Amino acid sequence: MTALSPEILAKYQPVIGLEVHVQLLTETKAFCGCVNKYGGEPNTHCCPTCLGLPGALPVLNRKAVEFAVLAAKAIHCEIRETSIFSRKNYFYPDSPKGYQISQFDKPIAEHGWIEVPSFDMSGAAVTKRIGVTRLHMEEDAGKSIHDGFADSVSKTYIDLNRCGTPLVEIVSEPDLRTADEVFEYLTKLKEILLYTGVSDCNMEEGSLRCDANVSVMLKKDAAEFGAKAYGTKAEVKNVNSFRYIRAAVEYEIERQIGVIEEGGRVVQESRLWNNAEGRTYSMRSKEQAHDYRYFPEPDLPPLVVGVEWQAEILKGMPELPEARRARMIAEYEISAQDAATLTATREFADRFEDAAKKAKSPRRVASLLTSELTMRLRAAGLELEQSPVSMAGIVMAADLAESGELSSKMLKQLLDSAFEKNEDFPVVYEREKPQQISDTGAIEKMIDEVIAGNAKQVEQYRGGKKTVAAFFVGQVMRLSKGQANPALLNELVAKKLDALGPL
Enumerate binding residues for Zn ion (CB under 5 A).
Answer: 32, 34, 47, 49-50
- Grouping H, G, I as helix, E, B as strand and the rest as coil, residue 364 is helix
Q: How far is CA 313 from CA 32, 63, 64, 76, 480, in A?
A: 22, 10, 11, 15, 58
Q: Which of residues 444-483 bind ligand ADP (CB under 6 A)?
A: none
Which parts of 228-267 interact with ligand ADP (CB under 6 A)? 230, 233
Minimum distance of ligand ADP from residue 99's CB (angstroms): 17
Nearer to ligand ADP, 266 or 497 (CB): 266
Cα separation, 479 vs 457, whole angstroms:
17
Residue 21 Cα to chain centre, angstroms: 16
**Residue 221 binding ligand ADP, by CB under 6 A:** no
Nearest approach, Cβ of 51 to Zn ion (angstroms)? 7
DSSP state of 79: E
Question: Could you tell me which stretch among 34-42, 135-143, 172-180, 362-370 binds ligand ADP (CB under 6 A)?
Answer: 172-180
* Residue of 36, 207, 213, 280 that binds ligand ADP (CB under 6 A): 213
Give yes or no for a contact between 240 and 206, defined as CB atoms under 8 angstroms apart: yes
Kindly tell me which residue out of 4, 19, 374, 434 binds ligand ADP, with binding defined by CB under 6 A: 19
Binding residue for ligand ADP, selected from 26, 118, 215, 343, defined by CB under 6 A: 215
Nearest residue (CB) to ligand ADP, 102 versus 215: 215
In this structure, the number of other CB atoms found within 10 A of the CB of residue 48 comes to 12
Stretch of 12-20, 90-98, 105-113, 429-437 lying at the interface with ligand ADP (CB under 6 A): 12-20
What is the spatial distance between Cα 234 and Cα 55, in angstroms, rounded to a whole number? 39
Count CB atoms within 10 A of the CB of residue 115. 15
Q: Is 16 in the site for ligand ADP (CB under 6 A)?
A: yes
Residue 368 contact among ligand ADP, Zn ion, none, beta carbon within 5 to 8 Å by kind = none
Distance (Å, whole) CA 283 – CA 276: 17
* Ramachandran angles phi, psi of 117, nearest 5°: -75, 135
40/463 with CB nearer Zn ion: 40
Question: 263: phi > 0 → left, psi -120 to 50 → alpha, else beta; which?
Answer: left
> Which CB atom, from 143 or from 279, has the smaller least distance to Zn ion?
143
The helix-helix angle for 179-196 and 242-261 (nearest 10°) equals 150
Strand partners, 204: none
Least Å distance, CB 198 to ligand ADP, is: 20
Interface with ligand ADP (CB under 6 A): 15-19, 171-174, 213-215, 230, 233
